[in-house]
Amino acid sequence: MSFIDNFLARWQEYREPGYYKEFDYAWTMTIDLDRCTGCEACVTACQAENNIPIVGERGLAQGREMQWMRIERYWEGEYPDIKLGFIPMLCQHCDAAPCETVCPVSATYHNQDGLNAQVYNRCIGTRSCAVYCPYEVRYFNYNNHHWDAPLDEQLNPDVSVREKGVMEKCTFCIQRIRQAKDTAKDEERRVGDGDVQPACVQTCPAEALVFGDRNDPQSQVSQSMNDPRAYHVLEEVNTAPSVVYLKKVETDAG
């Protein structure tokens, strides 16, 4: 092929949304809003697993939040007919992610497992990805972070400690996925359903989070996705997220 033809063919490929037509594993998470109690166990589990720094009171007052998984709360109605709903919000690993399109240095991209990947040492900190993200799940390190010794003994060696100036977000616990693939490769098999659970999924007391491969029709997450209650948050933005929410059921108790 001539140079031009080659270039055009590759450009065509590049322009396809999501970069991959098929995923090797298609990691998906379902979150059942009817089961979520808002207890925030998932938030702390994620902090422990992923070396998430403590921002401190001053940083939080400036809006510099650092919670890869956060619980949002929304009130509905007025006293005494008042309700409160919780929704866990994390990186949706969108197959048509706006953040991936804007990064000037391609520090964020979609990998073959359907994950939206963030490469910390490539990031130059323009923060445009955070602006483009409709779910506001990207967080920026405004400071170099410090753990008062010996709190740093707890840091997870399988996860980078991020420096000032890079963006970070939920990775679906890629280190656990990598570990599960490693084990599976030793045993010459594919990663099975339930072999890998991100920290949040593992700890949720109400079992509201389910994680797995939607390419496998037998997996728990595939069954969960096909629930008639399934929906995407901000579906109208068309980002094709990999996180499926199950609608909360509202009934009269009586």
Partner 1 sequence: MNVSLVPTLKALKPAALVVGAAFVGLVFGYWANATLFPGPAQGTAYAPEQPINFSHKIHAGDYEINCQYCHTQARRSASAGVPSVSKCAGCHQLVVPERPQIRMVLDYWENGEPIPWVKVHDLPDFVHFPHKRHVAAGVECQTCHGPVETMDVVSRQAPDQMGLCLTCHKEHQVEFGTDCLTCHK
Partner 2 sequence: MSSIDRRDFLKLVGAGGVGTGAGFVLRESINHPVEQLIPYPVPPEEFSPGIATYYNSVCSMCSAGCGITVRTREGRAKKIEGNPAHPVSQGRLCAHGQAGLQVLYNPDRLTGPMSRSVEGGELLPVTWEEGISQLAGRLGDLRANGQGNSVCFLSEGVRGHLAGLFELFMDQLGSNRLLHYDFAHPQTLYAAINRLFGEANLPYYDLQNTRFLLSFGADYLGNWISPVHHGLGFGRSRDGRDGVRGRFVQIEPRMSLSGAAADEWVPANPGTEGILALGLAHHIVNEGGYERGDRDAWVASLEAYSPAAVAEQTGVSADTIIRLAETFAGTQPSLAIGGGAAGQHSNGVDTLVAVNALNYLVGNLGREGGLVFNPPPAVGSGANGAQATYTSMLEIAEDARQGDIQVLILNQTNPAFTLPAAAEFRQAIAEVPLVVSLSSFMDETTAMADLILPSHTYLEAWGDDFPEPGVGFSAGAVSQPVVSPLYNTRATGDIIIGLAQALGLTDAFPWSNMEERLQEGWREIHARGVTAAEADDFEDFWTGVVKAGVWGETSRRVRPLAVESGVIESIGVESPEFSGSSAEYPFILHPYLSNTLDDGRGANLPWMQELPDPMTSVVYGSWVELNPTTAGELGLVEGDLVEVESPEGTVVAPVFVYPAIMPNVIAMPIGQGHTNYGRYASDRGVNPIEILSPQVEPETGDLAWAATRVRLVPTGQRVEIVKTGGVSRELGREIIQTVDAEPSAGESAGLSSIPVTVVHS
Binding positions for partner 1, 179-218, rule CB under 8 A: 182, 185-186
Spell out the residues 6+ positions from residue 240 whose beta carbon is closer than 8 angstroms to its own.
17, 18, 94, 95, 96
Tokens representing 123?
């990031």
Which does residue 221 touch among partner 2, partner 1, none (CB within 5 to 8 A, set by kind)?
Answer: none
The verdict on 40 binding partner 2 (CB under 8 A) reads yes
Q: Which of 29, 43, 177, 180 binds partner 2 (CB under 8 A)?
A: 43
End-to-end CA distance of the chain: 72
**Least Cβ distance, residue 66 to partner 2 (angstroms):** 8
Instruction: Please work out the total of residues on this chain that contact partner 1, with binding judged by CB under 8 A.
Output: 20
Between residues 9 and 151, which has the closer beta carbon with respect to partner 2? 151
Residues from 117 through 156 that contact partner 1 (CB under 8 A): 117, 119-122
Q: Are 116 and 122 in contact (CB under 8 A)?
A: no
Which does residue 119 touch among partner 1, partner 2, none (CB within 5 to 8 A, set by kind)?
Answer: partner 1
Spell out the residues 6+ positions from residue 63 whose beta carbon is closer than 8 angstroms to its own.
none
**Least Cβ distance, residue 111 to partner 1 (angstroms):** 5
Return d(Cα 89, Cα 42) in angstroms, integer.
11
Q: Which of 105, 124, 131, 206 binds partner 2 (CB under 8 A)?
A: 206
User: 3-state DSSP call for residue 5?
Assistant: helix
Q: How many CB atoms lie within 10 A of CB 122?
A: 13
Residues from 17 through 36 that contact partner 2 (CB under 8 A): 18, 22-26, 28, 32-35
The verdict on 7 binding partner 2 (CB under 8 A) reads no
Return d(Cα 229, Cα 231) in angstroms, integer.
7
Q: Kind and range of the H or E element at 71?
A: strand 70-78
Tokens representing 50?
């992923």
Between residues 6 and 65, which has the closer beta carbon with respect to partner 2? 65
User: 3-state DSSP call for residue 245?
Assistant: strand
The verdict on 144 binding partner 2 (CB under 8 A) reads no
The verdict on 130 binding partner 2 (CB under 8 A) reads no
**Least Cβ distance, residue 109 to partner 2 (angstroms):** 17
**List of residues contacting partner 1 (CB under 8 A):** 24, 109, 111-112, 115, 117, 119-122, 158-161, 174-175, 178, 182, 185-186
